[in-house]
Amino acid sequence: DAGVIQSPRHEVTEMGQEVTLRCKPISGHDYLFWYRQTMMRGLELLIYFNNNVPIDDSGMPEDRFSAKMPNASFSTLKIQPSEPRDSAVYFCASSFPFRSTDTQYFGPGTRLTVL
């Protein structure tokens, strides 16, 4: 079975450019999570969706970041305009929880470098 799919795997862009990261969750999973990982701050939850509806976006750093989930099989995280401090690995994860102990399955991540 396919796991969580993310694209692109690597992105190098210049400051000020728009960046769009994409995620396809595991089929049947109704929770989708976006995380950012840096050496300094570790793994941080940015936003999560349930049944395509954003539930908690309190981790989104600022208005330059936005996330959408137009359907159950696709989500995007957009940064506009991008800044060098946005450089990080961005992970998407999905889960199908009956209870909070269910596992989150992570995608391979997108390594973003903003010059």
* Contacting positions for another protein (CB under 8 A): 31, 33, 35, 41-45, 48, 50, 55-56, 59, 91, 95, 97, 100-101, 103-104, 106-109
Return the number of the residue (71 or 100) whose C-beta is nearest another protein: 100
| Distance of alpha carbon 10 from alpha carbon 81, whole angstroms | 18
CB of 81 or CB of 113, closer to another protein = 113
How far is Cα 90 from Cα 77, in angstroms, rounded to an integer?
Answer: 9
CB of 27 or CB of 50, closer to another protein: 50
Contact of 83 with 67, CB cutoff 8 Å: no
